[in-house]
Amino acid sequence: MVKTVSGRPGRLDSPAGPSSRAPVGFRRRASIFIRRRRLAPYLLILPSAAVIAGLVLWPTIQIAEFSFQNYGLPQLVGSSPAQWVGFANYSQILHDPEFWLSLRLSVLSAAAMVPLTLIVGTLVGLLLSKLGRKMAAFVSSVSILAWATPAVSASVIFVWLATPDGGVVDWFLTKLPAWLGGGAHWAGFSWTNAALPAYALATALVVWTGFPFIAIAVFAGLRTIPAELFESARMDGAGPWQIFWRVTYPLLRPIFQVLFLLSVIWDFGVFTQVFIIIGELGQRDEYNLGIYEYATAFQLPPAYGLASALAFILTIILLIITVGYVRASVREGALR
Amino acid sequence: MGLRKTPAALVAFGTAAALAIAGCSSSSSSSAGGSSTSSSAPAQLTVWRMGGSVASQVTWMNNVVTQFHKDFPAYANTKVNVVWVPWTSRTTDWNNALASGKNAPDITELGNTDTPTEASLGVLTNVSSYVNSWSNKAGLVSGMLANDTQNGDVYAVPWFGGVRGVWYRTDQFAKAGITSPPTTWAQLVTDAQKLQQTSPGTYGIDAITDDTNAFASFLWGSGGQIATQSNGTWTANLTSPADEAAIRYYVSLYRTYHLSPSKYIGQTELGNTGSTSGGANTDFGLGKLDLYIDGPWASATMPTNSVDKANWASFPIPSENGPNTAPVFAGGSDLAIFKTSKYPQADWDLISVMDNTANSTSFANLQGFFPPYTAELTGGPYKTEKFMSGFATAAVNSQVSPLNAKNWPTADTGKYFIIPDMLKSLMNGAPFDSTVAQANSQLQTVLNSGAES
């Protein structure tokens, strides 16, 4: 910490001439106070802190309150008072088989989405680094288009591609030779009325919209690695596989770790795409955690208390994943 | 006539629950009524209609409003604002309106199965005093009014009703050599098979999973019940021999006879849950489905390029062994005053115009429904008309319970989809006994639970 000159109290009086011996003005005194206490940084973050407190902290506190109450429609309308129910909401959720089913779907789909997005994104990032300037610009801007497509539009398009009524996916699969798994049994195949095909479609969609971000980040990271490192690796006889795992990956590890963390958070909480693919709320056996939570809150009868408890459970699950991961990363020295 | 923004539900997730409760609302348009005017003559009344905006219905409503202004000169300057709400988002939208205190309706249409639930949740105004002094009260079909009554208090009035039947095409029947509509389940299968053979590339019948209002006719058609109530306690009956026979039969339409395609699993009559096209309704309109189970109102959602419309006809859903028809669910819509409305008298006055004999009859005819008045039903032209006759025959043998039970919406289209999920699992190959037993116990639990635990 360096003590600034302006922070020294003695200096405040020195420039004042005899004529300004009069009482110090309010603005002046305020600035003295701020400087003496070093409040400026806090004042600067105050507006954003207030906005965050209002938009995030206050609702969080309210959700915490609701999660211990039997808060539903009668309480909302005011026809009966909210009652404190302790941990009843939490225990009800943990005893609901539907919760475990949706948790399972969330975990399994994230387990498929995250590695696939990372692998495809990394491969495209490596491809970008091999391409010439014009081609790289073309490929990256085309992928950005996929990334920029609104989730709702992309989901509607994917559902349309895979519709059993003449969708191009089913058509293509019927044309595929049998040794590749194609055949007439794909005609009119419904991708939305069972969990496995629905989440296969959702995974394809999430990977399609998610990989460009990974690719651009990896590409940007690759450009920071000096070319000599690759050259000397090649001179020593390393193949592309070895170069990636011995040179590229160790150097880009901090980037990969952040990308992994972000992908887990995004893919574990994916809502819009799955909501549209499974046909909103009609298919309970295809809910993931986010949709289960939404249905709990708003489907008849609305149970805001129960859903608040669920929101906390969801947050805690993500916190466990991310905190554990961040700790491991810090220990390895990847994140500082 | 503003179309309602539907994807409000999409953005609401997680924290939106808190935002909604905290009173924040993303909606920006004006709320119901002008608060500055006196309570006797509101500046505006907002009416929520269910479904999509249909031109003929808009015209009908405009005429009602003209009549309303004429009959009640005090409301000459009252604007009537109609908002169209998709059926699938109605409960969410009611709740959001209540939660935010904004954009709430003064009058809302609601399904007759919704009325008991919403009334017990305290969403609707008690209209007993208005109804009791209403001259049309005596003419209403008594069962329909009873559905809207709780502990002697009336919370809504019936507006129109309807029943489901089986749609078919007379030319396809002739081609397949079918001379009279089937009256037993066995005949239904045989006829569907014949139709599928003589009209290649079509599906025989739609065994969809997400329309319990229609599937109920099969449960009732073998003499079964979904659930029965005694001394205030519900007993679910899905594991009874009669119910199990119906469930087995319905599932066999897909699994054994392959009359229904796999894509109908998990679908409503309109398609994937949450969408309004691409399902059995569209397929029948385009001639890709031979027998289609739905009410006469479905013609409104048939595709505009539907084929062979002149040959559309209907027959009642058959019972297991005939010759009587299977009991059908008596569906329909009610009109109610929303709890938050500041102008209950004006609301009632508008309802009394919308629901008078002439207007409700013309409205019912417009949509393929029946008016709620006994005299119109028995003396009406419905029995003699080819397309409506099947439905009119079916309507004689109708049932509502337990589809009007307080917790039925929760069990069937709300938090749970008990019977749809059961049918879907069975069609996807789940073991019969354990799946049905599980659905049965879940149904009994939900029907007997409080409105909010």
Q: What is the pLDDT of residues A3-21, one digit of tens each?
A: 444 444 444 444 444 444 5
CB neighbour class for A186 (10 Å; exposed up to 12, middle 13-18, buried from 19): middle
Which pLDDT score is estimated for B103? 85
Question: Higher pLDDT residue, B193 or B151?
Answer: B193
Shortest distance, CA B203 to any CA of chain A (angstroms)? 12
Residue A14 lies in a domain: no
Q: Which of B94, B270, B273, B422 to mutate to test the interface with A (most CBs of A within 10 A)?
A: B273
Which pLDDT score is estimated for B451? 45
Q: With bands split at pLDDT 50, 70 and 90, how would you rate the model's confidence at B384?
A: low
Residue A253 lies in a domain: yes
Residue A78 lies in a domain: no
Q: Please give the angle made by the CA atoms of A183, A186 and A188, to the nearest 5 degrees.
A: 140
Which pLDDT score is estimated for A326? 79
Shortest distance, CA B409 to any CA of chain A (angstroms)? 7
Q: Which of B120, B260, B263 to mutate to test the interface with A (most CBs of A within 10 A)?
A: B263
Most confident of A61-75, A189-203, B247-261: B247-261
Question: Higher pLDDT residue, A189 or B20?
Answer: A189
Which pLDDT score is estimated for B38? 42
Which pLDDT score is estimated for B88? 73
Which pLDDT score is estimated for A335? 53
Interchain CB distance below 8 Å, A77 and B92: no
Chain B residues whose CB is inside 8 A of the A282 CB are 210, 266, 268, 272-274, 417, 420
Shortest distance, CA B440 to any CA of chain A (angstroms)? 16
**CA-wise closest residue to B163 among B316, B277, B269:** B316
Which pLDDT score is estimated for B221? 93
Shortest distance, CA B243 to any CA of chain A (angstroms)? 23
Express as a percent the part of chain A with pLDDT over 70: 91
Alpha helices, DSSP H only, in B88-152? Answer: 90-100, 115-120, 128-132, 142-147
Which pLDDT score is estimated for B189? 96
Does residue A1 have a pLDDT over 70?
A: no
CATH code of the domain covering residue A229: 1.10.3720.10
Q: Determine the Cα–Cα distance for residues B112 and B108; give it in Å rounded to an integer.
A: 12
Does residue A332 have a pLDDT over 90?
A: no
Q: Determine the Cα–Cα distance for residues B267 and B254; give it in Å rounded to an integer.
A: 13
Which pLDDT score is estimated for B4? 35
Interchain CB distance below 8 Å, B17 and A194: no
Average pLDDT, chain B: 84
Which pLDDT score is estimated for A227? 84
Average pLDDT (B78-97) is 85
Interchain CB distance below 8 Å, B273 and A301: no
Residue B58 touches partner A, C-beta closer than 8 Å: no
> pTM of the predicted model, to two decimals?
0.76
Q: Determine the Cα–Cα distance for residues A306 and B140; give it in Å rounded to an integer.
A: 41
Domain count, chain A: 1
Helix, strand, coil % (nearest 5) of chain A?
Answer: 75, 0, 25
Which pLDDT score is estimated for A130? 86
Nearby residues of B224 by Cβ (< 8 Å), 6 or more positions away: B237, B240, B242, B243, B245, B246
Q: What is the pLDDT of residues B25-74, one digit of tens each?
A: 333 333 333 333 344 688 999 999 987 777 888 899 999 999 999 999 99
With contact defined as beta carbons under 8 Å apart, do B318 and B187 qualify? Answer: yes
Shortest distance, CA A308 to any CA of chain B (angstroms)? 8
With contact defined as beta carbons under 8 Å apart, do B291 and B204 qualify? Answer: yes
Residue A200 lies in a domain: yes
Q: Which of A52, A298, A317 to mutate to test the interface with B (most CBs of B within 10 A)?
A: A298
Q: What is the pLDDT of residues B152-166, one digit of tens each?
A: 899 999 999 888 999
Q: With bands split at pLDDT 50, 70 and 90, how would you rate the model's confidence at B355?
A: very high
Q: How many CB atoms lie within 10 A of CB B371?
A: 27
Average pLDDT, chain A: 84
Which pLDDT score is estimated for A206? 94
Does residue B441 have a pLDDT over 50?
A: yes
Average pLDDT (B275-303) is 89
Residues in B 177-216 with any Cβ partner in A closer than 8 A: 210
What domains appear along chain B, each with residue ranges and CATH number?
8-162+331-387 (3.40.190.10), 165-329+407-448 (3.40.190.10)
Half-sphere exposure for B340 (CA within 13 Å, toward CB): 22
CB neighbour class for A198 (10 Å; exposed up to 12, middle 13-18, buried from 19): buried
ipTM exceeding cut-off 0.85 for this assembly: no
Domain hosting residue A194, numbered range: 88-332
Interchain CB distance below 8 Å, A299 and B415: yes
Residue A165 lies in a domain: yes
With contact defined as beta carbons under 8 Å apart, do B225 and B237 qualify? Answer: yes
Average pLDDT (B189-198) is 95
Q: What is the pLDDT of residues A31-84, one digit of tens each?
A: 888 888 888 888 889 999 999 889 988 988 988 888 898 888 777 777 678 888
- Nearest-CA residue of chain B relative to A300? B414
Which of B18, B22, B417 is closest, CB to CB, to A282?
A: B417
Residue A127 lies in a domain: yes
Which pLDDT score is estimated for B25? 35
Q: How many CB atoms lie within 10 A of CB A335?
A: 16
Nearby residues of B245 by Cβ (< 8 Å), 6 or more positions away: B222, B224, B320
Residue A107 lies in a domain: yes
Measured CA distances, A268 to A196, A197, B10, B110 (Å)? 17, 18, 18, 37
Q: What is the pLDDT of residues B217-227, one digit of tens each?
A: 999 999 999 99
Q: What is the pLDDT of residues A127-174, one digit of tens each?
A: 998 888 899 889 889 988 988 999 999 999 999 999 888 889 988 888
Nearby residues of B174 by Cβ (< 8 Å), 6 or more positions away: none
Residue A113 lies in a domain: yes
